[in-house]
Amino acid sequence: MSAPSTLRVVVDRDLCEGNARCVKVAPTVFRVDDEDRLEILLEAPPPELRDAVEQAIAVCPRQALRLADAT
């Protein structure tokens, strides 16, 4: 039996404008610092946060977020 794949959150810093919409949806995963730069607090969020992370990715106006395989 294979282990479940681990996903990590990736941000494209060239696209991200620090709008903080992702923070409103998943505040335990994302934070915007005092200089409007996105910080990923949980790069590999646990499965129970997957829905919130996917919603945060969907609401990003610049499509700067994505999930990628951690391998």
Residue spans of the domains in the chain: they are 7-69
What is the Cα–Cα distance from 70 to 37, expressed in whole angstroms?
23
Encoding tokens for residue 68? 């990628």
Determine the Cα angle at 65 with ends 24 and 30, to 5°: 35
Out of 3.30.1180.20, 3.40.640.10, 3.30.70.20, 2.60.40.10, select the CATH number for domain 7-69.
3.30.70.20
Higher pLDDT, 2 or 56: 56
| pTM of the full structure | 0.87
Residue whose tokens read 């999930």 = 67
Q: pLDDT digits over 23-65, tens only? A: 999 999 999 999 999 999 999 999 999 999 999 999 999 999 9
CA quadruple 32, 29, 13, 33: dihedral, nearest 10: 20
What is the Cα–Cα distance from 30 to 35, expressed in whole angstroms?
14
